Amino acid sequence: MALARHAYGKSEVRVVKITRTPGRHVLRDLTVDVALEGDFSAAHTSGDNSALLATDTMRNVVYALARTHPIDSLESFGAALVEHFLEAGPTVTRVRIDIAEHPWERLGDHEHAFQRGHGGTRTATVAGEGSATTYEAGIDDLLVLKTTASGWEGFVRDEHTTLPETDDRILATIVCARWSYASAPEEPEWQAVRDTLLHAFADHYSPSVQFTLNRMGEAVLERHPGVERIHLSLPNRHHLLFDLQRFGLDNPNLVFHATTEPYGLIEGTIERGAQ
């Protein structure tokens, strides 16, 4: 028997940083995960911890670097953590930093008052191995819906099929997306990609979630040359027309039952050069 690939780290380090400038405060609210890979076999096989950096130390490093390093870019903060842990761990060969940013929105023009934001959770992953660093961005929990311009027709029917065809339905999904960059992105790039995803979701008639997924991915690659590939996961949050006939009422596509489970799940990766 032999110990195969292994890693360890510190997860869900919650960091809130306030950058205080005259007349305006900037708030960044993050959850940071640290994962280290390297030769830690002695700790597993013989109880020798001499090559291990304590996970408590990893937590402290996140807070210390949050103080000394500007968080004007999630990717630059992640890269600083990668560089630190590659140097600090005596046998560390690869570092992965996952960051989720929890959105806050300023209350009007108020300089230091905020409300919990909406529109999805921003994610960033920075990984370093030797001199190579990779960057991945993403979004979770982006709930979108359109009330028409969507259908589902021409699908396979058999003895178990009960779903009627329609050319006018509600399309609702919770977008989860991950995209990779060829190099470190500029800070405004994430918002620009998010805006492209939203625009592409809304700008067409959708014959299927699959079609919409591909259109959204292609739009990102067309408009953002720094993005190499994008993976999208779109759960179909069904809205079913409710039968009101038993109450003597018609229902001309007005009243729906929103369901959360079970649900269809459509996933796909769009990348440059793919046919």
Helix, strand, or coil here: 46? coil
Token pair for residue 18?
Answer: 């306030």
Choosing from 84, 196, 212, 238, the catalytic residue is 238
Catalytic residue flag (residue 125): no
**Considering 10, 84, 196, 212, which one is annotated as catalytic?**
10
Beta carbons within 10 angstroms of residue 133's beta carbon:
18
Cβ atoms < 10 Å from Cβ of 61: 20
CA distances from 104 to 27, 120, 140, 176, 220 (A): 7, 11, 15, 19, 25
- 116 touches 103 (CB < 8 A): yes
The alpha carbon dihedral of 258, 260, 263, 266 has a sign of positive
**Identified catalytic residue from 17, 25, 55, 146:** 55
- 55 as an active site residue: the answer is yes
Contact present, 129 and 97 (Cβ < 8 Å) = no
Query: Does 17 participate in catalysis according to the annotation?
Result: no
Q: Which residue has the tokens 């300023």?
A: 106
Are the C-beta atoms of 34 and 13 separated by less than 8 Å?
yes
Q: Which of 127, 134, 167, 131 is nearest to 149 (CA)?
A: 167
Catalytic machinery residues: 10, 55, 238
